[in-house]
Amino acid sequence: MTAKANPVPSVWARQQSAPDQPALSRASIVREAIVMLDADGIEALSMRKLGARLNAGATSLYRHVATKDELMELAVDEVAAEFTVPPPGSPWRAAVTEAAVSFRATALGHPWLSAVLGQAGLAYLGPNLMAYSERLAALFSDAGFPEPSRAIDTVLSYVIGMSTTEAAWLITVTRSGKTEGDLIASLMPAAQQAAAGHDHLAGAYADAAVHAPVDPVALRDEKFFYGLDVVLDGLEMRLPR
């Protein structure tokens, strides 16, 4: 604010609620926060930078959001809108697989999600997460599971664990600036040295080095579906015939 208030009441001088930027609302704040989180990771998001992006001062955000933690909760539930569960009536195994795949996809697309969930867990009661849980519950109880909530917890734990590990790896890849394959290659010497004396690990690394040219993405996909099928097989055994 270098120039003091201009006494000329020109209509043109007055900006009518900022033409491009839609004011400054809770929704726009959350949306832009997610953009920043996706682009630069969880530690690049600060209230000041976020305010700057919205053509607003840092502290203005607090008119719409109580605290940064609350903002993160809102961001989590916002991306949780991407979770999908097929409608009731679908064959349960395919349906659960799709629900798991959609969770993993958004966790990998927003790698900060896992970190936030790891710090605060499922105390979040946002509407989108609730809807996801509800539809999962409907799915499992329609399928005839005697303890639907147990089944849900089991498959969600697996999916969360695997996705968290994958997301953390993706963050490392992004930070390194290399491609996934190059980073693996550059990490191999250290890994092999650390595995010295550990016969099984050393063998596994040696095998991995041989099959190095395999597409890392396809390999991760295969790993995910292998474990998911294991879990679903175990659950299927508990389905009364």
Instruction: Kindly list the residues in this chain that would bind DNA in the complex (CB under 7 A).
Output: 1, 5, 14, 23-24, 45-49, 51, 55-60, 62-64, 67-69
Q: Which stretch binds a copy of itself (CB under 8 A): 7-15, 45-53, 72-80, 149-157?
A: 149-157
**Full DSSP string of 143-159:** TT-S-HHHHHHHHHHHH
Of 81, 79, 63, 82, nearest to 30 (Cα)? 79
Q: CA–CA separation, 70 vs 67, rounded Å? A: 5
Contacts of 185 (CB under 8 A, 6+ apart): 212
Work out how close the CB of 204 gets to a copy of itself at its nearest, in angstroms, rounded to a whole number.
6
Segment 105-124, which members bind a copy of itself (CB under 8 A)? Answer: 114-115, 117-123
Work out how close the CB of 7 gets to a copy of itself at its nearest, in angstroms, rounded to a whole number.
50
Let me know if 80 is exposed, middle or buried by CB neighbors in 10 A (0-12, 13-18, 19+): buried
Q: Tell me: does residue 216 bind a copy of itself (CB under 8 A).
A: no
Contacts of 128 (CB under 8 A, 6+ apart): 77, 78, 80, 81, 83
Q: Tell me: does residue 69 bind a copy of itself (CB under 8 A).
A: no
One-letter identity of residue 216: P
CB nearer to a copy of itself: pick between 86 and 148 = 148
- Residue ranges in contact with a copy of itself by CB under 8 A: 42, 114-115, 117-123, 125, 127, 130-131, 133-134, 137-138, 141, 147-151, 153-154, 156-162, 164-165, 167-169, 171-172, 190-191, 194-195, 198-201, 204, 223, 226-227, 229-235, 237-238
